[in-house]
């Protein structure tokens, strides 16, 4: 948490440090930084400089982090990497998807569920890595990567852009909304930050009812806030 507000341009965009973004999507901040800032590395024995996967929403500001749409798209990248898809192939797929689907954040778009799946498989086949193709074609992996689970809780506008994310399954108690609290997790009804609720529960030695009274929210909301903060605790 702890990124200073430096420009009116960031209003409605969402502001996440790499550490917070990593907590929310379940990876390491150094990995997100590589994906969004670029890095040096070797491929086939040759030194190379790799550009960011895409230009962050905050690229023109002084803020060292990512925006809300970046965060949602990075959830997909993290999942691809976790199942063994190499980053160079993810990079090529993003470029191809942008050209064909006409969307700056193609993994999040609804079109990715149909045309995107086909394009992704085409890219895997073109790579010629039979072992990788076999892994990703397994039904359970495909369901995890391209199925509905990553889109659950994400609301899109008429332009197919992510506008808010309800991160807890089958619940709309906690929300990340770039138009509220700079996109950080809050109770949807009251706007109280989940981290404030969780900290208060610790301070009150686990007395959920007292915390609920202090913040004028329900005990059920307190439980959800605490559960969310436990879910995204930094490793």
pLDDT by position in tens, the chain (length 235): 544 445 445 668 999 999 999 999 999 999 999 999 998 877 677 778 889 999 999 998 889 999 999 999 999 899 888 877 778 888 888 888 888 888 889 888 887 765 566 666 666 666 555 544 544 454 455 555 666 677 889 999 998 899 999 999 999 999 999 999 999 999 999 999 999 999 999 999 999 999 999 999 999 999 999 999 999 986 6
Confidence (pLDDT) at 5:
47
CA-wise closest residue to 24 among 145, 195, 180, 179: 195
CA-wise closest residue to 151 among 192, 110, 123: 110
The whole model's pTM is what?
A: 0.84
Confidence (pLDDT) at 16:
97
Confidence (pLDDT) at 131:
45
Confidence (pLDDT) at 91:
87
Let me know: does 70 contact 56? Beta carbons within 8 Å.
yes
Rg of the chain over Cα atoms, rounded to whole angstroms, equals 19
User: Taking the domains of the chain in order of start, what are their residue ranges?
Assistant: 166-235
Confidence (pLDDT) at 206:
96
d(CA 119, CA 192): 41
* 8-state DSSP, 39: E
Burial readout 203-224 (b: 16 or more C-beta within 10 A, e: otherwise): eeeeebebbbeebebeeebbeb
Let me know: does 49 contact 30? Beta carbons within 8 Å.
no
Confidence (pLDDT) at 121:
63
* 8-state DSSP, 4: -
């Amino acid at each position: 948490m702890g990124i200073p507000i430096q420009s009116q341009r960031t209003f409605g965009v969402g502001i996440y440090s790499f550490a917070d973004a990593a907590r929310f999507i379940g990876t390491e901040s150094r990995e997100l930084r590589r994906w969004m800032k670029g890095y040096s590395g070797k491929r086939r024995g040759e030194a190379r400089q790799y550009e960011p996967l895409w230009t962050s929403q905050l690229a023109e500001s002084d803020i060292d982090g990512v925006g809300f749409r970046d965060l949602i798209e990075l959830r997909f990248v993290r999942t691809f990497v976790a199942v063994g898809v190499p980053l160079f192939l993810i990079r090529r797929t993003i470029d191809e998807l942008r050209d064909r689907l006409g969307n700056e954040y193609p993994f999040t778009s609804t079109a990715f569920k149909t045309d995107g799946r086909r394009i992704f498989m085409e890219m895997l086949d073109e790579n010629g890595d039979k072992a990788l193709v076999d892994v990703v074609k397994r039904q359970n992996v495909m369901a995890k990567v391209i199925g509905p689970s990553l889109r659950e809780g994400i609301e899109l506008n008429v332009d197919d852009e992510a506008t808010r994310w309800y991160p807890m399954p089958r619940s709309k108690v906690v929300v990340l909304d770039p138009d509220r609290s700079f996109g950080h997790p809050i109770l949807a009804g009251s706007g109280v930050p989940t981290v404030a609720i969780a900290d208060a529960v610790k301070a009150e030695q686990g007395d959920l009812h007292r915390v609920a009274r202090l913040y004028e929210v329900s005990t059920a909301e307190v439980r959800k806030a605490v559960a969310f903060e436990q879910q995204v605790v930094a490793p």
